[in-house]
């Protein structure tokens, strides 16, 4: 089975016979296990634990170990807390997982630890940069690895204040730690993949970075980050683009607010190194709530720091800095409906107008009130009777936070890279379909094959067409990872996207090709973005 497969072992204390494999990476030997023809290695450290003096420092290379290290259990998730409801946490969170500052681990699924040089797919999880883990059950990579003969990797990274605190403007006596630690963790994981993935049968020169929500936003940011160049060769962005990068002054204000909640009186660098992590989490939660997830803004996200991120990544992408990277980018039709599940206010026309005027208080370049233009642009939205205002709010927020940023990134990348492709996920579950529609995160079990599990078949996605759509989507993702083109025999012809022909594959009960499905929303947002009026709204 290849030179790197060595011997079968039974882990001590195993209740039943298990088959494992031993692989040698740069830090030492790892023992995984084989189940259903897929070798799995869990809890592999790709950096030293960011604890003690390393709490607010860039990730350091992992230390070597002498004995064979068991890689049969997931590592802890990053510490996390957030003002989100149970449904959102179930989909994107790490509820029930062990949490620790010692969280920089990754997981590998491979059809064989041989010399096959398979395509590698590295997953960055979502969760608004405050939740989630690479070990969340929905991200188990075995089905995708087996179907496509690819190597799947999922990673953890530091979240919230531990991962995205900017020290700009925080006064202190010591040297300020670096910003964007969570993004630096992602880069460290990609460096580990580059150095070691060939031992797992993967090709380090054919790495596809893919992620959803904050994971896609991270991917979009990495497209414009100099330090990430050469570490991945294709990118799949699910419900996220490159807009979620704070300007330096915005990130500084968030950091100042966070420190104020902690009531730090001495050197903030020294004190924050020593405070209990639970105290940091409480201040993080208060800061997050103050910014307000209800309008799509996030306190904790990457920021322009003049170092790792020297400029807005969109400027680098527009310049063609990522011209060599094919991308597949898309959104779900009813993205924001997931977040409306936590909205306790029943919207009517008056409340909708109040929200829009609060969110968009300015005027455009012609002196027109932006809120009035928004009310006109989103005057109609098809939905259940009596919920017209809610449907309009959902359409507005879905365009603002997801659809338009994706279209903008696709436009910029397609100017330089002809292998740019777009999709729109439209499948609606039979359970809660009227309320959730094709909401944020619903495509995840289709990408990872979870719709075929007994729980999914019996619950949310019990639909005979779900398994067929799952096969089509997995095959598209795998084809793109293999050769940079998502088309295959089970789908209609899927031409590339450009700003002249915005071809988009719809993925639902019936997969069809459409051109510019979000044209009306794009035509509203595009002038605002061009003239800067919408800068605070993305």
Select from 130, 313, 318 the least CA-distant residue to 221.
313
The token duo for 237 is: 């962005």
Task: Name the catalytic one among 125, 243, 440, 518.
Answer: 440
**379 within a domain of the structure (yes/no):** no
What's the whole-number mean pLDDT along residues 496-505? Answer: 97
How far does Cα 56 stand from its chain's mean position? Answer: 22
**278 within a domain of the structure (yes/no):** yes
User: Would you call 203 helix, strand, or coil by DSSP?
Assistant: strand
User: Would you call 198 helix, strand, or coil by DSSP?
Assistant: helix
Q: Highest mean pLDDT range out of 2-6, 182-186, 254-258, 436-440? A: 182-186
pLDDT at site 345: 77
Task: Name the catalytic one among 168, 335, 391, 443.
Answer: 335
Please determine, for residue 384, whether its predicted confidence score (pLDDT) is greater than 60.
no
> Is residue 213 annotated as a catalytic residue, yes or no?
yes
The answer to whether residues 159 and 132 touch, using CB atoms and an 8 Å cutoff, is: yes
**118 within a domain of the structure (yes/no):** yes
**39 within a domain of the structure (yes/no):** yes
**532 within a domain of the structure (yes/no):** no
DSSP letter for each residue of 236-282? EEES--S---B-HHHHHHHHHHHHHHHT--S-HHHHHHHS-HHHHHH
Q: How many folded domains does the chain comprise?
A: 1
**52 within a domain of the structure (yes/no):** yes
Does residue 3 or residue 467 have the better pLDDT?
467
> Is residue 335 annotated as a catalytic residue, yes or no?
yes
> Is residue 403 annotated as a catalytic residue, yes or no?
no
What CATH number does residue 245 fall under? 3.40.50.1820
What's the whole-number mean pLDDT along residues 230-241? Answer: 98
Task: Name the catalytic one among 213, 322, 390, 398.
Answer: 213
The residue range of the domain holding 70 is 19-325
pTM (2 d.p.): 0.92
Q: Tell me which of 40-44, 168-172, 451-455, 491-495 is least confident.
A: 451-455
pLDDT at site 91: 55
**486 within a domain of the structure (yes/no):** no
pLDDT at site 18: 41
Residues 6+ positions from 297 with CB-CB distance below 8 Å: 291
Backbone phi, psi, residue 94, to 5°: -115, 40
pLDDT at site 32: 96
Backbone phi, psi, residue 468, to 5°: -65, -40
What's the rounded Cα separation, in Å, for the pair 24 and 330? 38
Give pLDDT tens digits for 135-188. Answer: 999 999 999 999 999 999 999 999 999 999 999 878 765 688 999 999 999 999
**225 within a domain of the structure (yes/no):** yes
pLDDT at site 13: 36
Give pLDDT tens digits for 426-478. Answer: 999 887 777 899 999 999 999 999 887 755 555 555 567 899 999 999 999 99
What average pLDDT does the chain have? 88
């Amino acid at each position: 089975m290849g030179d790197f497969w060595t011997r079968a072992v039974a882990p001590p204390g195993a209740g039943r016979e298990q088959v494992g494999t031993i692989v040698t990476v740069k830090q030492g030997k790892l023992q995984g296990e084989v189940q259903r023809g897929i070798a799995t290695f869990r809890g592999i450290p790709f950096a030293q634990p960011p604890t003690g003096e390393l709490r607010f420092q860039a990730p350091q290379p992992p230390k070597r170990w002498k004995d064979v290290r068991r890689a049969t259990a997931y590592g802890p998730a990053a510490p996390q807390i957030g003002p989100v409801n149970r449904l959102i946490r179930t989909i994107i969170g790490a509820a029930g997982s062990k949490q620790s500052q010692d969280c920089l681990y990754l997981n590998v699924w491979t059809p064989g630890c041989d010399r096959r040089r398979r395509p590698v797919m590295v997953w960055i999880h979502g969760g608004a940069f405050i939740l989630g883990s690479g070990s969340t059950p929905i991200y188990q990579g075995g089905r995708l690895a087996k179907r496509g003969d690819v190597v799947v990797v999922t990673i953890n990274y530091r979240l919230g204040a531990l991962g995205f605190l900017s020290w700009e403007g925080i006064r202190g006596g010591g040297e300020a730690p670096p910003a964007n630690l969570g993004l630096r963790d992602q880069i460290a994981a990609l460096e580990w993949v580059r150095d070691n993935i060939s031992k797992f049968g993967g090709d380090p020169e054919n790495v596809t970075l893919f992620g959803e929500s904050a994971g896609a936003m991270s991917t979009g940011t990495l497209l414009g980050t100099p330090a990430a160049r050469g570490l991945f060769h294709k990118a799949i962005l699910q419900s996220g683009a490159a807009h979620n990068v704070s300007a330096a002054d915005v990130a500084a204000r968030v950091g100042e607010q966070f420190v104020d909640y902690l009531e730090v009186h001495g050197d903030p660098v020294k004190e924050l190194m020593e405070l209990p992590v639970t105290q940091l989490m409480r201040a993080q939660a208060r800061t997050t709530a103050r910014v307000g997830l209800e309008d799509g803004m996030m306190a904790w996200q990457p920021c322009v720091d003049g170092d790792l991120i020297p400029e807005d990544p969109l400027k680098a992408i527009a310049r063609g800095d990522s011209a060599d990277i094919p991308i597949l980018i898309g959104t779900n039709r009813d993205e924001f409906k997931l977040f409306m599940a936590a909205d306790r206010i029943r919207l009517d026309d008056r409340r909708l107008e109040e929200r829009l005027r609060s969110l968009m208080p300015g005027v455009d370049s012609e002196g027109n009130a932006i809120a009035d233009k928004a009310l006109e642009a989103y005057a109609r939205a098809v939905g259940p009777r009596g919920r017209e205002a809610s449907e309009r709010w959902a359409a507005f927020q879905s365009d603002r936070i997801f659809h338009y940023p994706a279209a903008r990134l696709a436009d910029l990348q397609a100017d330089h890279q002809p292998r740019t492709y777009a999709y729109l996920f439209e499948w609606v579950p039979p359970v809660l379909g009227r309320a959730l529609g094709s909401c944020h995160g619903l495509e995840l079990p289709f990408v990872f094959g979870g719709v075929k599990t007994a729980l999914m078949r019996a619950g949310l996605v019990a639909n005979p067409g779900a398994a067929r759509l799952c096969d089509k989507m997995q095959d598209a993702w795998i084809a793109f990872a293999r050769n940079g083109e998502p088309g295959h025999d089970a789908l209609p012809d899927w031409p590339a996207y450009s700003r002249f022909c915005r071809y988009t594959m719809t993925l639902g009960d019936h997969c069809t090709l459409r051109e510019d499905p979000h044209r009306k929303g794009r035509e509203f947002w595009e002038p605002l973005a061009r003239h800067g009026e919408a800068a605070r709204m993305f």
